[in-house]
Amino acid sequence: MSTSRLRLLDNTRIGEVRRAIRGWYRTNARDLPWRRTSDPYRILVSEIMLQQTQVQRVIPKYRAFLVRFPTLRALATASLADVLRMWSGLGYNVRAKRLWECAMFVVAHHGSRIPSDIETLRALPGIGRYTASAVASFAFGAHEAVADVNVRRVLARALLGRESIDDATAWWLAERALPRDHASTWSQALMDVGARFCRPAPDCAACPARRACASSARGGAPAIRERKAKRSEKFVGSRRYYRGRVVRALAGARSLRLHVLGEQVKDGFATTDLPWLRSLLADLEREGLIALNARHDRAALP
């Protein structure tokens, strides 16, 4: 979006959207376990887990993970294999490795204390702009905007009447809409509206911001059909699907012979599938998620 068009952003609309969403959030906020704490370690764990994963899948894993690794030092001193075992089933297992590496770095270079400064946070291994901003805001009360997928969808529709915006515009909008006080509460309110009403297939009629929303003024956001079933079909049988099955199978065993692993990973596994399995395992080994023993034709968590 051009700079000249961004200048047309209606400040009155920003104020109206803020009031509507904040007013709704005061009595309708989701009761999520990571919102009951300001512990930066626990908030960091939640933010890494929530990347590309639904809240309801994260909650039980989050609780179990913190029982096993209650502090950042406990995580840093654990083996990667133990961390992967606790993470198994959540998906995108490389996130667990990055979180573990981040914990070790903080223990080694920051005295086991997660830094509060936004630039120092962004310099931690595996931490990007969004996660750094979220930890700074939610754990330390910093006046930082966040722009996750829900936030950017709500702001694009409510303030610009658009369905999609690029990253630069999303962050610009998030910073422009950020109130002077209670920044973290505002960001969490946007996330809840995005999760409940302003979904890819929006429920504009029930949305608390409908009277102030730019999309609503134009007849509502397009009724984009959600394709959950098709997405599920596309995932099942994908390389990512089998990667997850490999980690889950190895999480329950010290090591497995490749043909035994293959039978647990793929229905109808045959000797002719071994090259495919070896390729899959080679990718996981390069990422440090498994260890291969070529001499004994076995695989294990690292």
The Cα 110–Cα 115 span in angstroms is 7
Catalytic entry in 16, 47, 119, 287? 47
Active site residue 47: yes
Q: How far out from the chain centre does Cα 217 lie?
A: 31
Q: Using alpha carbons, select from 116, 182, 181, 178 the residue that is nearest to residue 147.
A: 178
Q: What is the DSSP string of the chain?
A: --HHHHTT--HHHHHHHHHHHHHHHHHH----GGGG---HHHHHHHHHHHTTS-HHHHHHHHHHHHHHS-SHHHHHTS-HHHHHHHHTTSS-THHHHHHHHHHHHHHHHSTT----SHHHHHTSTT--HHHHHHHHHHHH--------HHHHHHHIIIII--S---HHHHHHHHHHH--SS-HHHHHHHHHHHHHHTSSSS--GGG-TTTTT-HHHHTT-S--PPP-HHHHHHHHTTSHHHHHHHHHHHHHTSS-EEHHHHHHHHSTT--GGGHHHHHHHHHHHHHTTS-EEETTTTEEE--
Q: Is the distance from CB of 277 to CB of 262 less than 8 angstroms?
A: yes
Residues marked as catalytic: 47
